[in-house]
Amino acid sequence: MREIQTVEELEAHVAHIGGLANVVIQGVDLSAHTELLLSVSCADAVFLGASLAPEALAHVFADGAVAFPRIPDLPFDVYRPRLYAQHELFSGWVAGCDGSFADSADSKIYRWAARHPKGPHLPIVDALAQRLHDHAIDDALGEHLESHPDVVAVMGGHGMLRDQSMYETVAELGRSMARVGWHVATGGGPGAMEAANLGAWLAPYDDAALGAALDLLAKAPDFHHVDSYLTASQAVLDKFPEGSESLAVPTWFYGHEPTNRFATHIAKYFANSIREDGLLAIATRGVVFAPGAAGTTQEVFQDATQNHYAVFETVSPMVFLGSRHWQHDLPAEPLLRRLAEGRPYADLIGVADTAPGVMDFLLRHQPTDG
């Protein structure tokens, strides 16, 4: 079914086709376009959160269309037609103003989601709103990826501080990946995730830009001081305003962590399980695991399961950044090699301690068919 997301697209479609049969109209305010709707057939059309005047609503129902109404009193659009833009979730936040993150769209949505204890038994309307929103994000993400086939994900701990050497290494890696034309994707949070998106953002600039950005970020290294943390991010964006695209896939399940400022396209979900599995699934060019704790270790074996059973018909490289961390402190790498024995992905497991080392492995190891 054809998807229509603006009034202009709807008018062009009607002019060309002569009707709205078998189309999906998503999140469009049609309250001032009743005459147009009454003039065409809407048989088997689907209206998702499209505002309709009563006369138009009666017409589309009579034609056999389906209309999903908006859910009132929500701080988000459950039928949004596109991913969140770089600054969209920070609407209401003011750089340099302590406490203003609480006024941001990101924070308001988290507070709405956190009204009830985490668990499978949310009030039915809240659960429906979350599912509809995440479905819309799924659809928008699929459309986004149509023009970004080479996705490489960088996973890692949210607790990595901006003034740590590994943060700089991950940023260098994100920059290198963007420069060879790969689409960098992360979990969208602070720490290693922010570092990779930062590196991708700075890819068009000379290498010295990263050092200058790190100096600005070091003034607020810990995301727990959220307003100063975000103000330092804004200082980098002000100094380097024309960066490269990258993707973030965060979640309001961990909504106390701010979405990082350096990703240009943000697929933010309520359901963390969908977000984690989906991020790994789209990373067909490979996944890099920077040092992390329980969450990152879980992602290692989620990705391993996808490769082990060739769930998505593509087996992708897996690279551990930080040999001591992954071979001794949390020895996931040797366990994974044992698990992979005799499987196609056994030769796609690498370990490196530097950004050039990771890039060398990824460039020498292509994804394979499962």
Q: pLDDT (tens digit, 9 = 90+) per residue, 304-343?
A: 999 999 998 899 999 999 999 999 999 999 999 999 999 9
Model pLDDT, residue 120: 75
Last residue of a domain, one of 68, 87, 110: 68
Q: Does a structural domain hold residue 97?
A: no
Model pLDDT, residue 67: 96
Instruction: Give yes or no: residues 228 and 362 share one domain.
Output: yes
Q: Are 300 and 220 in contact (CB under 8 A)?
A: no
Grade residue 119 by pLDDT with cuts at 50, 70 and 90: confident
Last residue of a domain, one of 12, 33, 68: 68
Grade residue 4 by pLDDT with cuts at 50, 70 and 90: very high
Instruction: Give yes or no: residues 226 and 352 share one domain.
Output: yes
Last residue of a domain, one of 68, 102, 125: 68
Mean pLDDT of 275-296: 95
Longest dimension (CA), the chain: 70
Kindly state the helix (H) or strand (E) to which residue 7 belongs, with its residue range: helix 7-17
Q: Are 178 and 359 in contact (CB under 8 A)?
A: no
Full residue range of the structural domain in which residue 25 is found = 2-68
User: 3-class SS at 319?
Assistant: strand
Mean pLDDT of 4-21: 95
CA-CA distance, 104 to 261, in Å (whole number)? 13
Q: Are 302 and 167 in contact (CB under 8 A)?
A: no
Instruction: Give yes or no: residues 54 and 175 share one domain.
Output: no
Structural domain tally of the chain? 2
Grade residue 281 by pLDDT with cuts at 50, 70 and 90: very high
Q: Does a structural domain hold residue 264?
A: yes
Model pLDDT, residue 369: 87
Q: Does a structural domain hold residue 107?
A: no
CA-CA distance, 92 to 99, in Å (whole number)? 11
Quick one: which of 135, 144, 352 has its CA closest to 248?
Answer: 144
Residue 213 phi/psi, 5° resolution? Answer: -65, -40
Instruction: Give yes or no: residues 62 and 190 share one domain.
Output: no
Q: Does a structural domain hold residue 100?
A: no
Model pLDDT, residue 166: 98
CA-CA distance, 27 to 319, in Å (whole number)? 40
**Residue carrying the six token digits 């492995």:** 361
Instruction: Give yes or no: residues 154 and 279 share one domain.
Output: yes
Q: Does a structural domain hold residue 20?
A: yes
- Residues in a beta bridge with 318: 287, 349
- Residues in a beta bridge with 29: 51
Does the pLDDT value for residue 245 go beyond 80? Answer: yes
CATH of the domain at 180: 3.40.50.450
Q: Does a structural domain hold residue 134?
A: no
Does the pLDDT value for residue 118 go beyond 80? Answer: no
Q: Does a structural domain hold residue 27?
A: yes
CA-CA distance, 278 to 255, in Å (whole number)? 18
Instruction: Give yes or no: residues 191 and 283 share one domain.
Output: yes
Task: Quote the mean pLDDT of the chain.
Answer: 95
Q: CA of 231: how far to CAs of 219, 299, 305, in Å?
A: 10, 30, 39
Q: Does a structural domain hold residue 241?
A: yes
Quick one: which of 277, 245, 85 has its CA closest to 150?
Answer: 245
Which pTM was predicted? 0.94
- Residues shown for the chain: 370
CA-CA distance, 198 to 9, in Å (whole number)? 35
Instruction: Give yes or no: residues 364 and 239 share one domain.
Output: yes
- Distance from first CA to last CA of the chain, Å, rounded? 30
**In percent, how much of the chain has pLDDT > 70?**
100
Instruction: Give yes or no: residues 156 and 59 share one domain.
Output: no
